[in-house]
Chain A
Amino acid sequence: MKFSKRHNNVLPGFGPTMGYTLLYLSLIVLIPLSALIFKTAGLSWHDFVAIVTAPRVLASYKVTFGSALTAAGINALFGVLVAWVLVRYPFPGKRLIDALVDLPFALPTAVAGITLATVYSANGWIGRYLEPHGIKVAFTRLGIIVAMTFIGLPFVVRTVQPVIEELDSELEEAAACLGANRWQTFRRVLFPLLLPSVLTGFALAFARAVGEYGSIIFIAGNMPMVSEITPLIIITKLEQYDYQGATAVATVMLVSSFVILLVINLLQKWSRRYAE
């Protein structure tokens, strides 16, 4: 009988919609991604290791992952602050600011790249005040961190904000009644509750920063060994028709982003358990 077969679900269309979903997913995502794996599998292990541990490539991992870690850290700190202020404190223009937080999601990366490079250049709006103090941002590692901070900003705010909104005020009242001051309450009561979401936001911002290309290349200067990010190495190898080299480095990046994705999933599971 139809009813018992579908666990009493009378809605039609499971077969065709599921079929189309799997077909489209395979054609657009799974088959193209597997092309990368197969191409890499064609390399010998020795060649693969030689390509992905070449000094210039190793230096690019250091630049990319190091800067992404720093940027995600800045985002975690300021993201929590912005989320806290947006939820807890009233100020004029709050809804506008709230909407504006998503700007890095909406602004195309190339536009972000050229405008950040301009603002932080020696005679740019911000750069002109930093330059006399010997702080060079554009065309240095610092520039990469600025661009990565820009694109990662919404992640922490948007993962922490709903958690702050849901915080039970009774907890804070209880802490206050038991004699805790505000800082103690935040550190001992609120922060542990926020931590899973802060870490999730941190990991999301980190993952985005590692793969980012458009907003960084304009401000980075792209000096080999110094300020060259891994995605740019892939592009350079492609432009030299070194498909195998590009594929090998891309595989390393793909595997690392899968590892980050796994960590994010575990974090989200943790925070959901925490919430219950």
Chain B
Amino acid sequence: MSAPATTYAGKTNANHRITEPALVRWGLTAVALVFLALFLVLPLAAVFSQAFEKGLGVYLAALKEPDALSSVKLTLITAAVTVPLNLVFGVTAAWAIAKFTFPGKNLLITLIDLPFSVSPVISGLIFVLLFGRQGWLGPWLDAHDTKIVFAVPGIILATVFVTFPFIARELIPLMESQGRDEEEAALVLGASGLQTFFRVTLPNIKWGIIYGVILCNARAMGEFGAVSVVSGHIRGSTNTVPLHVEILYNEYNYTAAFAVASLLAFLALITLAVKTVAEWKVRQQLGD
């Protein structure tokens, strides 16, 4: 080793030895960036490029079309029911799991995660098996003139199933890491249980909730497989935005398909932005 014996030079030397030569660094960075550009950026850019291919007029016309509008409406309704349901569940489950100790906790967490490992197609199928004509409750529903599968309730149920774990699995580790000291202090100082929750716990998990809600919402609005199985594809009545995209695409109406798809791509970008901020805030909060 020919390095001079000064501390400064010694340090530089050590840094050299735990990183790669500049050429290797640039090479690896370039390969990684090209891979991401080809696999992520290009497909995303293609959505917008195809959507605006025939100009703004055609783009807007595709969005204003009645079937497109009704699919947007159904998607908004689905998300508006799904997200609050799973939010209430997520907060309740996280309170029970993170703030208390009980046997079978890990099993319960695994069961909550279950919908993530089930194929979307199967997530739709199970509701057809329950509520379809040949299903368990089919005859009873028929007798009472109620439709669940191939109608809006089925779409909502399948979406609730698919997005079931999102908020809970974000809040459980967050609340576990925060412990229960603050809540205990509030209770000792005379706050009621609900006051403690709303004044102490909720501000602490605010960004975790936002993170979970935005991901749950993105999946609820974008779910395709499960919804496709239970919807029955009735145009203008049981079509969500992703299903409408499929129909337009299969009719070779590419510009319209991409125009409607661009709405979902916008949603994805907004989701990523909010998610990044929320992640940063959660990290910051845990760092305190």
Interface, chain A (partner B; CB < 8 A): 6-7, 9-14, 17-18, 20-21, 24-25, 28-33, 35-36, 39, 78, 81-82, 84-86, 88-89, 91, 95, 97, 99-112, 114-116, 118-119, 124-126, 149-150, 153, 169, 172-173, 176-177, 182, 185, 207, 210-214, 218, 231, 234-235, 238, 241, 243, 246-247, 250, 253-254, 257-258, 260-261, 265
- The CA of A249 and the CA of B271, in the complex, are separated in Å by 35
CA distance A29 to B28 in the complex (A): 44
Q: How far is the CB of B243 from chain A (nearest CB, A)?
A: 8
- Contact call A97/B229, Cβ cutoff below 8 A: no
Q: Mark B2-46, 1 if CB is under 8 A from A, else 0.
A: 000000000000100111110011001101110110111111101
B128-178 residues with Cβ-Cβ distance < 8 A to A are 128-130, 132, 134-136, 157, 160-161, 164
Judging by beta carbons under 8 Å apart, are B95 and A235 in contact? no
Could you say which interface size class chain B belongs to?
35 or more
Q: Is A211's CB under 8 angstroms from B264's CB? A: no
Of the listed residues A21, A126, A238, A250, the one surrounded by the most CB atoms of chain B closer than 10 A to its CB is A21
Chain A contacts for B254, CB-based, 8 A: 118
Inter-chain contact B100/A85, CB cutoff 8 Å: no
CA distance A81 to B39 in the complex (A): 14
Which of A25, A31, A169 has most B Cβ within 10 Å?
A25
A108–B110 Cα distance when bound, in Å, is 25
Q: Are B117 and A261 in contact (CB under 8 A)?
A: yes
**6 shortest A-B CB distances, which residue pairs?**
A108-B222, A211-B119, A214-B224, A176-B17, A12-B193, A213-B225
The answer on a CB contact under 8 Å between A115 and B117 is no
Q: Are A213 and B100 neighbours in the complex by a CB distance under 8 Å?
A: no
Q: Report whether A32 and B117 are in contact in the complex, using a CB–CB cutoff of 8 Å.
A: no
Chain A residue nearest to B21 in the complex (CB):
A182
Question: Digit string of B178-195 for contact with A (CB within 8 Å is 1, else 0)?
Answer: 001001100110000100
B269 — nearest CB in chain A belongs to which residue? Answer: A106
A218–B245 Cα gap in the complex (Å)? 11
| Contact across chains for B118 and A254 when beta carbons are under 8 A apart | yes
**Contact across chains for A11 and B130 when beta carbons are under 8 A apart:** no
- Residue of B47, B96, B193, B241 most packed against chain A (CB within 10 A): B96
B268 in contact (CB, < 8 A): yes
Task: Give the distance in Å from the alpha carbon of A194 to the alpha carbon of B280 in the complex.
Answer: 24
Asked whether any CB of chain A lies closer than 8 Å to the CB of B112, the reply is: yes
Contact call B125/A111, Cβ cutoff below 8 A: no
Residue in A14, A25, A112, A114 whose beta carbon sits within 8 Å of that of B249 in the complex: A114
Q: How far is the CA of A270 from the CA of B258 in the complex (A)?
A: 44
Q: Are B258 and A114 in contact (CB under 8 A)?
A: yes
- Once bound together, how far apart are the Cα atoms of A12 and B186, in whole Å? 12
Interface centre among B100, B115, B180 (most CB of A within 10 A): B100
**B69 proximal to A (CB < 8 A):** no
Given A107-B264, A115-B43, A118-B254, output 15 extra A-B contacts at Cβ < 8 Å.
Answer: A25-B93, A35-B129, A100-B36, A102-B275, A109-B242, A111-B245, A118-B258, A169-B18, A172-B17, A173-B18, A185-B18, A213-B225, A241-B134, A254-B119, A261-B117
A126 touches B161 (CB 8 A): no
In the assembled complex, 16 residue pairs joining A and B whose CB atoms fall closer than 8 Å, in A order, are A17-B92, A24-B92, A32-B129, A35-B135, A81-B35, A89-B28, A103-B40, A108-B222, A111-B222, A111-B265, A115-B46, A125-B46, A150-B40, A173-B14, A211-B117, A234-B125
Q: How far is the CA of A112 from the CA of B265 in the complex (A)?
A: 9
A173 and B17: CB pair below 8 A?
Answer: yes
| Min C-beta distance of B34 to chain A, whole Å | 10
Complex CA gap A109/B261 in Å reads: 10
- The listed residue with most A CB atoms (<10 A of its CB), out of B224, B246, B275, is B224
Which B-chain residue is minimally distant from A185 (CB atoms)?
Answer: B18
Q: How far is the CA of A238 from the CA of B226 in the complex (A)?
A: 13
Query: Which residues in A have their C-beta under 8 angstroms from that of B28?
Result: 81, 84-85, 89
Structural contact, B119 and A213, CB atoms closer than 8 A: yes
Query: A246 contacts which chain B residues (CB < 8 A)?
Result: 125
A88 → chain B, closest Cβ, in Å?
A: 7
Cβ–Cβ contact B46 & A100, under 8 A: no
How many angstroms between the C-alpha atoms of A210 and B118 in the bound complex?
10
Residues in chain A near residue B36, CB distance under 8 A: 82, 97, 100-101
Complex contact B275–A211 (CB within 8 A)? no
List the B side residues contacting A247 at CB < 8 Å: 125, 129
CB <8 Å contact, B224 and A108: yes
Q: Given the complex, which residues of A lie within 8 Å of B160, measured CB to CB?
A: 28
A100 to B46, CA, bound (A): 15
Q: How far is the CA of A124 from the CA of B38 in the complex (A)?
A: 13
- Could you say which residues of chain A place their CB within 8 Å of the CB of B249? 114, 218
Q: Is the CB of B43 within 8 A of A91?
A: no
Known: A32-B130, A33-B126, A150-B39. A115 touches B193 (CB 8 A): no
Are the C-beta atoms of B264 and A111 separated by less than 8 Å?
A: yes
Report the minimum CB–CB distance from A72 to chain B (whole Å). 14
Question: Is the CB of B101 closer than 8 A to any CB of chain A?
Answer: yes
A183 to chain B, nearest CB (A): 9
Given the known interface contacts A114-B258, A150-B43, A176-B17, the answer about A214 and B273 at a Cβ–Cβ threshold of 8 Å is no
